[in-house]
A and B are shown apart, each in its own frame.
Chain A
Amino acid sequence: MVKVVAKTGNEAMAEAMRQINPDVVAAYPITPATEIVMIFAKYVADGLVDTEYVAVESEHSAMSACVGASAAGGRVMTGTSSQGLALMYEILPIVSSLRLPIVMCDVNRAISGPINIHCDHSDTMAAQDFGWVQIFSENSQEAYDSLIQAIRIAEDPRLQLPTMVTTDGFIISHCMDKIELLDDADVQKFIGGERKAATRLLDIDKPVTLGLIDLQDYYFEHRVQVAEAMRGAKKIILEVADEFAEKFGRKYGLIEGYQLDDAEHVIVALGSTCGTTKVVVDELRAKGIKAGLLKIRVFRPFPAEEIAAALSKAKTVAVLDRSDTWSAQGGHVFTEVRSGMFDQKAKPKMINYIYGLGGREINLELIRQVYTDLQNIEKQPLVQYLGVRE
């Protein structure tokens, strides 16, 4: 039975966590993710979940405790943002190399400095190389649905890689939205009961040594194993999404096209900005302009072929990046999308906009501006800043 409720992104994620009922949660508060673990802590206090909640003294310890609990055999979750995620960076690649299917809610927030609590994607993007599956959400519903799917994705025996689901700080995390909740029992059935870990530190009779030192003769092979698993992740993510669609009617992919099939001018974006862009696409379509949107839902593994195929017929493409690489070559998404297009015979002309850093507003007017620019693309620089004061 579907229940329609009004929830913020944080509430939606906490609700999904309640329904998942993980074995261990270790977390540390940081705006704008604090609420998720706060609401969840109340669920623990009220006995609504069976979870062992470890209120650690830092995010570094949160992720470290998650490693311990997950290596021991548990289903483990956490949530964080920005500096909190940054404090976890040291441990994130250890998680993936140990093949621990920890699931994390990351509420996207700008990285210091200067300190800023509002949304951009610089925290998640800086973590892109650590072997975590990364799924972005356009709204609370997607965050909720993706978090439930993340358990299945991460724990799939073929993958066993940690997975993070992100929302845009404040824009999604704190804004009330209509969402359809699943039944508790349906969630439990979908995630499939307890985690079945292949190796468990707590297996006293079969002692394992985990986290060994790898020298020149094995490290490389172990890193390649993570890469290979990640390469196979797309298939698993889609299988899980298909099953979710079959059971609950909401369909997700690695990417999503909006008015994309015959689009001449396309914006590529992630997260909540996609919702804003859809409004402008509708406006332009009403005027007969062939505008379209390509939303990237899964950023790791990067769906390069799918994106290349989806963009192959476009004339012009603007990639919107809510983070900068400081490479003087454009943002994270831009460089990946452009690289993905290299082998296409017919390539659209492509430009990049860095926008919305530190929560700077991205509104309909700015998105309209991008589509106008796309219609005069010859006059545009390769990389520009959207909505920044001169």
Chain B
Amino acid sequence: MANLKELSKKQEPLTGGHRLCPGCGASIVVRQVLLASKDPVVVVSATGCLEVSTTIFPYSAWKVPFLHNAFENAAATMSGVEAYYQYLKRKGKTSQHINFVAFGGDGGTYDIGFQSLSGAMERGHDLTYVCYNNQAYMNTGIQRSSATPKGANTTTEPAGKVKQGKTMNRKDLTEIMVAHNIPYVAQATVGNWADLTRKAEKAFSIRGPKFMNVLQPCRLGWAYKPEETGVIGRIAAETCFWPLYEVENGVYKITKPREKKPITEFLKTQERFRHLFKPGNEKIIEDIQAEVDQRWQSLLAKEAMTAKAAK
């Protein structure tokens, strides 16, 4: 794997000067993923913070070919780009390898873009879909998505007098992608650059559909100081709120934290969970912890099971 010094010498795919918030994790995801490619990349982005902030005409922060189509169709759009590339290759009109990378927020991936993503994965296009997952629709002002965790305060499921934020648990899209039986699925987070870069490199080394779900702390929607993005990303992994793992051809590999911290360590870093610490809301925190524990146990079991099967 490339070290930091080598990475720092590569040409930036996304320049500074874009209009993302200070401390935004989305651009970190993009840069770290794309820098991991040794081949040329072509990017498609869904509508969302990333796209609107980097492509305000007549400016563009993209140093690599970039296409934005609409909100829910990054995967389908990239399917078309890749299909034409396959055509060129088959006809002997190109031999250059290109990595096709689609970026979408959790809204454009878990919800409205879910069908398009599932279709593209099932069809087996050679592309890497990266969800920069900030757990809400940030671009339109922090509305809940199916990636939003239980208890989080959002503008469409706000914490109020009788309701304490989102009532349902998050959808586990990573596992749904594993169920697509694609060659590579990974979960990573902003704040763990080595892990993220290694996973992106792995994805690019594999032919076929790849899916990466990258937790992206959002300083606006989660409400914390801009400089804490990386720290909060790491705490998400340490509490197993966002386990770091990958599934290669069905085999699970977890990067386990040295010590599994209680979920409160993660919750207390952000405003979106502040109401949970008011008296009377203990049960919600317990529920969140129970959900995290249950998922973690199930993940460990899957790792053990698939490791055995692989042997």
- The interface of chain B, by Cβ under 8 A from chain A, is 40, 42, 44, 51-52, 55-58, 60, 62-70, 72-73, 75-88, 90-91, 94, 96, 98, 115-116, 118-120, 122-123
Contacts and interface: CB of A to CB of B under 8 A. Distances in A.
Contacts of B56: 212-213, 215
A209 B84 contact: no
Contacts of B79: 26, 54, 56, 61, 64-65, 68
Contact of B84 (A72, A207, A208, A214): A72
A52 interface: yes
Contacts of A213: 51-52, 55-57, 68
Contacts of B123: 54-56
Instruction: Identify the 6 closest CB pairs spanning chains A and B, nearest first.
Output: A68-B80, A57-B119, A65-B80, A61-B76, A211-B68, A64-B73
A351 to B, nearest CB: 41
A54 to B, nearest CB: 5
Interface string A207-227: 111111111001000000000
Contacts of A211: 55, 66-69
Nearest to B39: A204
A64 B70 contact: yes
A26 B81 CA distance: 11
A209 B73 contact: no
A200 B284 CA distance: 52
A70 interface: yes
A369 B67 CA distance: 54
A227 B243 CA distance: 51
A73 interface: yes
A209 B123 CA distance: 26
A261 to B, nearest CB: 48
Interface residues of A, number: 43
B80 A54 contact: yes
A204 B57 contact: no
A67 B55 contact: no
Nearest to B19: A213
B264 to A, nearest CB: 39
A51 B116 contact: no
Contacts of A54: 79-80, 83, 123
Residue of A65, A72, A74, A207 with highest tally of chain B CB at under 10 A: A65
30 contacts: A23-B87, A24-B87, A26-B80, A26-B83, A50-B87, A50-B91, A52-B83, A52-B84, A54-B79, A56-B119, A56-B123, A57-B122, A61-B79, A61-B120, A64-B69, A64-B70, A65-B80, A65-B83, A67-B80, A68-B82, A68-B83, A69-B81, A69-B83, A71-B81, A72-B42, A202-B98, A207-B62, A207-B66, A211-B67, A213-B51
A149 to B, nearest CB: 23
A50 B64 CA distance: 29
B65 A204 contact: yes
Given A64-B116, A67-B77, A218 B57 contact: yes
Nearest to B93: A194
Contact of B65 (A64, A90, A203): A203
A90 B70 contact: yes
A201 interface: yes
B84 A61 contact: no
Contacts of B73: 60-61, 64, 91
A327 to B, nearest CB: 28
A91 B69 contact: yes
B91 to A, nearest CB: 6
Contacts of A60: 72-73, 76, 116
Nearest to A25: B83
Given A64-B79, A68-B83, A91-B70, 13 more contacts: A24-B84, A56-B79, A57-B116, A58-B116, A60-B76, A61-B119, A64-B77, A68-B44, A68-B77, A71-B67, A201-B42, A202-B88, A213-B57
A59 to B, nearest CB: 10
Nearest to A221: B57
Interface of A: 23-24, 26, 50-52, 54-58, 60-62, 64-74, 76, 90-91, 94, 201-204, 207-215, 218
B93 to A, nearest CB: 9
B238 to A, nearest CB: 37
A26 B78 CA distance: 12
Given A65-B83, A91-B73, A57 B60 contact: no
A212 B57 contact: yes
Contact of A52 (B60, B63, B64, B87): B87
Contact of A202 (B42, B76, B77): B42
Contact of A74 (B52, B76, B87): B87
B55 A212 contact: yes
Nearest to A23: B87
B77 A65 contact: yes
B118 A23 contact: no
A60 B69 CA distance: 12
A71 B42 CA distance: 12
A27 B72 CA distance: 17
Nearest to B67: A210
A195 to B, nearest CB: 11
A214 B66 CA distance: 15
Given A58-B119, A202-B42, A212-B57, A66 B80 contact: yes
Contact of B81 (A55, A72, A207): A72
Contact of A68 (B67, B88, B122): B67
A215 B19 CA distance: 14
Nearest to B122: A57
A51 to B, nearest CB: 7
A62 B119 CA distance: 11
Contacts of B96: 204
A73 B93 CA distance: 12
A208 B86 CA distance: 20
Nearest to B81: A68
B84 A74 contact: yes
A231 to B, nearest CB: 23
A241 B122 CA distance: 42
A299 B32 CA distance: 49
